[in-house]
Amino acid sequence: MSYINNGRPTDIWHGITARMLLERAGQARGLGMTDEADSMAYVASLMHAAEPILAPDFAGAEQSMWAVERRLVADFVGPAHPADICHPALA
């Protein structure tokens, strides 16, 4: 098994913090994306508890975060919204 940060506790990895994961988890729940929300919340809880995080668990949370961001943007951008502005939740 491989761990992020060589198994040492970390509160940021690949520029992603536990806070960011929890924010996206809340948004994911609002969008009905419960699997993604659970994945992000689990990794955020490990970060807050200073526990080692398996690389596949973090990768899953990272992918989930991107999926939620894609969904937020897709729901926001449309005929009434220009594509070159940022969704308020992503700002």
Number of structural domains in the chain: 1
Question: In the 8-state DSSP scheme, what is residue 85?
Answer: S
Return the percentage of the chain with pLDDT > 70, whole number: 84
pTM of the predicted protein model: 0.82
**Which is more confidently placed, 84 or 69?**
69
Instruction: Look at residue 74 in the predicted model and tell me its pLDDT.
Output: 80
| 2 pLDDT above the threshold of 90 | yes
Averaged pLDDT of the chain:
88
Instruction: Look at residue 73 in the predicted model and tell me its pLDDT.
Output: 80
Structural element, H or E, at residue 80 = none
Structure-derived torsion over alpha carbons of residues 75, 79, 80, 86, reported in degrees to the nearest 10: 50
Burial classification of residue 41, based on how many CB atoms lie within 10 Å of its CB (0-12 exposed, 13-18 middle, 19 or more buried): buried
- Range(s) of the domain holding residue 37: 4-90
Instruction: Look at residue 90 in the predicted model and tell me its pLDDT.
Output: 65
